[in-house]
Amino acid sequence: MIFRGFRAVGAVPVPVTRLDAVERHVTVVRARALAFARALRKPPFHPETVHRLRTHLRRLQAYAEFLQRPRIAARLADCVTWLSDLRTLYVFQQFLRRREASVPDRSRVDAAVRDEEWAVARAGYPEAIRTRLAGLLVSRMRRPSAFLTERFASLSQDRAVRLDTALRGLSPEATRKELHRLRLLIKSLRYQEEIALEAGRGNPRTVAALRRLQRTLGDYCDRDQFRRLAKKMDLECRSERKTEYRRYRQRARAAVRRLGPPQSSLIALR
């Protein structure tokens, strides 16, 4: 058995009330995402609003993937990508403030944030996101109960296959792009497991384990972005960011190695 300590779930029908709870939850996520998108009218934007919008878009994307709606998932993924550079700059800006970086470094990043906010606004991304969310009706994404029952029953096995396939594709010393792709996969798997929890079919320990691994990989990816931005902007702190990046890369690689060889990955995922 791939999941040691996890009880296998057969194709037991999911109660209608549970399925309704999942759909209500996703409806709330969609409504909140639309509210956050509507708050992005004119720069300056609030960093937390952008962050929450991207998070809710990712959750909707995971739901579309769970329902095997690839076109909807791809359109939602586009929305996330449109805000990715801005989100990275926000995180870097806040990071430098916490570290009390030099005034010139912070000033350059502040200017980059303002420029990217206006670039996002001029490209019409907030309006495009609002339009896509307004046209996204959860009821139209609905699948038959039998389909959902089968999906929930196969979710654990599907997760194991996707994760083990990803691990097989890693280099002996995982590269930046490989770790980034793995982080996105872990995030999707976590959100899908949270959907299963809403239906009473998920495992809280699995969610917690996925969240921990996502955080570790996310911290590494952030440091990679910080290093690249510091070099691009010729910041005074670029040497520090490079050193820190190497340290977080070691942590990320170690976390991946702890998953073990394929077919044992989810034993370590606790």
| pLDDT (mean) for 12-17 | 58
Model pLDDT, residue 6: 33
Q: Where are the domains of the chain?
A: 17-143, 144-257
Spatial separation of the C-alpha atoms in residues 231 and 225, rounded to whole Å: 10
Spatial separation of the C-alpha atoms in residues 112 and 90, rounded to whole Å: 10
Find the range with the poorest average confidence among 3-12, 96-105, 126-135, 142-151.
3-12
Spatial separation of the C-alpha atoms in residues 221 and 5, rounded to whole Å: 31
Give, in degrees to the nearest 5, the angle at Cα 5 between 149 and 249: 100
Structure confidence at residue 208 as a pLDDT band (50, 70, 90): very high
pTM for this entry: 0.88
Sign of CA dihedral 240, 242, 246, 252: positive
Q: Is 84 helix (H, G, I), strand (E, B) or coil?
A: helix
User: How far lies 34's CA from each of 136, 210, 213, 253, in Å?
Assistant: 10, 27, 29, 37
In contact, 128 and 79? CB cutoff 8 Å: yes
